[in-house]
Amino acid sequence: MKEYNGYKYVNGGVCAAKGFSANGLNCGLNPVKEKNDLCIIAADVLCNTAAVYTTNKVKGAPITVTKNHLASTGGFSRAVIANSKNANTCNADGIEKAEQMCSLAAAELGIAAEEVIVASTGVIGQILPIEPIKSYIKPLCEGLSYSGNESAATAIMTTDTVKKEVAVEFVIGGKVCRLGGMAKGSGMIHPNMATTLNFITTDVNITTRMLQKALSDITKITYNCLSVDGDTSTNDMVCVLANGLSSIPEISSEGAEYDIFKTALYIVMSEMTRMLAKDGEGATKLIECTCAGAPVQECAITVAKSVIRSPLLKCAVFGEDANWGRILCAVGYAEADFDIDKVDVDIASSAGSIAVCRFGAGVPFSEDEAKRILSEDEIQININLNQGTASATAWGCDLTYDYVKINGDYRS
C-alpha cells in the first residue's frame, strides 16, 4: 500500500470512506450496452456538502438545480445522481429533466429531492430522454453497494480511456478517517473554479463552511491548474460530501485537524488532476510545469498555466522537439509581473534533466539528450523565475493528431 507522509492510499474511490455506497449501470443512453451511463452515490446519513462550478456563462441545467438544492438545504445532501452521453445543456426542458432525475432517485432512497445532487456530461444541445432513467432508477438504487465505486466511476466516462479514482486513509485525533473521489474528463478541459465532473466523499466531521473553504483553496492549486484544450466546459462541477461517521470532534475552524484534512483533500484532488491531464483526448504525454522562485503564488500559477496552455508547446512535446523558445514565449505572455531576464528553464523526465535556458537566454545542450528525455510519457518543465519563494504546478498534455480525430466526429 503506497504511503505519502502518513497518508495511505487505499482502494474504494467514493466508497472508501465509511457510510458511502455507489452503483452504476447502462440504462440505454449509451447504445453500447457494455458501457455504464448512469450512476448514483448515496450516504447513510445527511452530509455537509461543498461545491464549485464552471464559470462558463452557458451552464448545464444540472448545475442550476444542484446550486438551488444546496442553497435550499443550507449545504446538506444525501446522494448524487449522474449520467453520461448527454449534458442536458441548452435545452428548454433541461431544468425539468434534472429535477426529475433528483425526484426519481429521492423516491427510491426515501429522502427529499432537494437532498440530491445531479450532474450530466456528454453532448450539448440534445434533449435528455428521461424514460431510460425512469426505467432503470429502481435497479440502480437497489444495486447500491459499499464496493460499488468502480461501476459508478465508469458510468461518467465519455471519451475517457480509463476510470479515475483515488482514496487515502489518515488519522485525526487518534481516529482513522478516509477521503476518496472519482472524476471524469478527457476533453473540453480548461477550468475556472472547477473542471469536469468530480465527486469526493469523506467520513471526516467538518462544517460546511470549512469544507467549502478547503475545497475552494485546493481547487485553485489543482483543478484550476489543469488544461487539456483551452475549452471551459458548461457542466464542470466538483462536490465534496462529508458525513462525519469517523466520529472525530467537528472541525469548525483552522488548526491542526483542519490542516490534516486539507492535505488529504489536496492529495486526492492533485492525483485526479494528474489523471485527467494524462488522459487528455488523444494524448500521449502528460506535461507537468512547475514554476518556482516567483514573488507571489498567483504569479507562479499564472506562469505555469500559461505554459501548459500553449498549443505550440503541446505540439512540440508531441513531436519530442526541445523547442524551448516556445516555453519562454508562453512565460513571456503570462499576465504576471516579473523580470524575464532572470528566468531559468529545464526540461526533465524519468530519463534525466537538461538545462535549456538561463537568465532568459538559451544555453548549449545536446539535442540527442533532449530527445531522449522527451521520449518519455511524463514530461516536466521546470521554470525558476529567481525572484521570490512562491511556487505552483500546472498540468496538461500534448496535442496530437488523434485529438482532431476524436473531436471531428464527437457526436457520431
> What pLDDT, in 10s, does the model give residues 338-396?
999 999 999 999 999 999 999 999 999 999 999 999 999 999 999 999 999 999 999 98
Give the model's confidence band at 195: pLDDT under 50 very low, under 70 low, under 90 confident, else very high: very low
Structural domains of the chain sorted by starting position, each given as residue range(s) with its CATH number in brackets: 3-278 (3.60.70.12), 286-408 (3.10.20.340)
Cα 167 to Cα 180, 223, 269, 272, distances in angstroms: 4, 17, 10, 10
Quote the pLDDT of residue 282: 66
Mapping DSSP to helix (H, G, I), strand (E, B) and coil, where does residue 124 land? coil
Confidence of residue 194 (pLDDT cuts 50, 70, 90): very low
Indicate the range of 15-19, 214-218, 319-323, 403-407 predicted with least confidence. Answer: 403-407
Answer with the residue of higher pLDDT: 159 or 171.
171
Distance CA 349, CA 377 (A): 8
Active site residue 195: yes
**Could you tell me which residues come within 8 angstroms of residue 76 by beta carbon, excluding any fewer than 6 positions away?**
46, 47, 48, 49, 70, 115, 208
351's grid cell:
530519463
Q: What is the pLDDT of residues 127-168, one digit of tens each?
A: 999 999 999 999 999 999 999 999 999 999 987 888 999 999
Q: CA 69 to CA 338: how far, in whole Å?
A: 44
pLDDT, tens digit (0-9, with 9 covering 90-100), for 82-96:
999 998 988 889 999
Kindly report, residue by residue over 19-44, the tens digit of the pLDDT: 999 999 999 999 999 999 999 999 99
Count Cα atoms within 13 angstroms, Cβ side, for 89: 22
CA distance 20 to 199: 12
Q: Of residues 49, 195, 393, 400, which has the active-site annotation?
A: 195
Q: Which amino acid is at 5?
A: N
pLDDT of residue 235: 61
**CA 64, 70, 72, 77 torsion-angle sign:** positive
Q: How far is CA 232 from CA 43, 73, 153, 186, 255, in A?
A: 30, 28, 22, 12, 34
Supply 63's cell numbers.
448545475
Average pLDDT over all residues of the chain: 91
